[in-house]
Amino acid sequence: MLDRLNQALDHIESRLDGELDVAELARIAMTSEYHFRRLFSALAGMPLSVYVRRRRMTLAGAEVLAGEHTLLDVAVRYGYGSGEAFARAFRSVHGIGPGEARRTGAALTAQPRMSFRVVIEGSSTMRYRIVEREAFRFIGRKARIPLVHEGVNPAGAALVASLEPGEIARMKELADGEPAGVLSAAVHLSESREEGTELDYWIGVVTPPGTPAGELDALEVPAGTWAVFDDRGPYPAALQELWRDVFTQWFPSGPYTSRPGPELLRTVPVEIGAETDSQLWIPVERSGA
């Protein structure tokens, strides 16, 4: 898969001065557009749109400083229909407008061309199994919170703290299915997984379809395939590293891609930094499915 991803990067380079079709990039990578966006973000550390804009502005910056073409000509070449839109994009990358950059010969910011490779560190292995799961209903409480890549997410912690004892007891009564017990679930609203983007964060339990939710919230989850990862380590750092490794190491080296759906986590609550056992469920499908 990494070879295919690098071919997609080559395609990006050939289209920086023209239209770029993300669906075509996904076809080159032999995966879905959904998985391509998420995998790119995990590997590159930035959304696809940000990388493309930075690469375009790197090339545009060189042309602006060269002074051989008008600023509007440069803007049009790199896909901007107006000088104002081009100036905004230029400033977002370089911190200075194109006109001022040309007048002063300012130092600009360059985004190097990327290539992907997997670096395996240490001798740890990822323990996983593949589970075919029938449709289920996830019942609990949810909140829309910002994504945090490192450390405790205050908004997520606030949701947990807001749960009434009666709500938790009701969830435990309803729990019926794997994964068992009270879980957290992340439903990503953006494919980029960029820090600060919003997601729906749930605390709840797996129940059979049609289970009455009562005063609680409910999420219908269709049947599908799940990759289940078992892990142990300090909370929450080990969990965040596991999520990262799934997308940057496990997916690129295996026959599965991610698919839309809630990512489920079962863990034993502990003090920050204490060791705990965790189980992560990621919705997947076979590549090319």
Residues 33 and 83 in one domain: yes
The CATH number given to whatever domain includes residue 99 is: 1.10.10.60
Q: Provide the percentage of residues in the chain whose pLDDT is more than 90.
A: 57
Confidence at 123, pLDDT banded by 50, 70, 90? very low
Same domain, 33 and 172: no
Look at residue 117 and tell me if it is in a domain. no
Instruction: Flag the least confident range among 73-82, 124-133, 200-209, 259-268.
Output: 124-133
Those residues whose C-beta lies under 8 Å from the C-beta of residue 127, and which sit 6 or more positions away, are 229, 230, 231
113 occurs within a structural domain: no
Domain match, 137 and 264 both? yes
Residue 189 has pLDDT above 60, yes or no: yes
Compute the mean pLDDT over every residue in the chain, rounded to the nearest whole number.
Answer: 89
What residues make up the domain containing 43? 2-104
Q: What digits encode the pLDDT tens for the residues 143-172?
A: 999 988 777 889 998 999 999 999 999 999
Whether residue 264 lies inside any domain: the answer is: yes
Q: What is the mean pLDDT of residues 74-92?
A: 91
Q: Which long-range contacts (CB under 8 A, 24 or more apart) does 236-245 make?
A: 236/151, 236/152, 236/272, 237/150, 237/273, 238/276, 238/278, 239/265, 239/267, 239/278, 239/280, 240/149, 240/150, 242/126, 242/278, 242/280, 243/280, 244/42, 245/126
Q: For residue 202, is it within any domain?
A: yes
Residue 122 has pLDDT above 70, yes or no: no
Cβ atoms of 119 and 112 within 8 Å: the answer is no
**Same domain membership, residue 171 and residue 44:** no
The tens digit of pLDDT for each residue in 214-249 reads 999 999 999 999 999 988 888 888 888 888 888 888
Rounded to two decimals, the pTM is: 0.70
Residue 40 has pLDDT above 50, yes or no: yes
Q: What local confidence, expressed as pLDDT, does residue 192 receive?
A: 66
Residue 87 lies in a domain: yes
Same domain, 41 and 94: yes
What is the average pLDDT across 50-68? Answer: 92
Give the residue-averaged pLDDT of 98-127: 78
In a domain, 20, yes or no: yes
Q: Are residues 24 and 158 in the same domain?
A: no
| Same-domain check for residues 98 and 134 | no
Within a domain: 216: yes
Residues 38 and 139 both lie in one domain: no
CATH number reported for the structural domain that contains residue 254 in this entry: 3.20.80.10
Q: Are residues 181 and 282 in the same domain?
A: yes
Q: What is the pLDDT of residue 197?
A: 83
Give the end of a domain, one of 104, 137, 156.
104
Tell me how many domains the chain contains. 2
Contact between 82 and 90 under an 8 Å Cβ cutoff? The reply is no
Q: Same structural domain for residues 237 and 175?
A: yes
Which residue, of 104, 119, 148, is where some domain finishes?
104
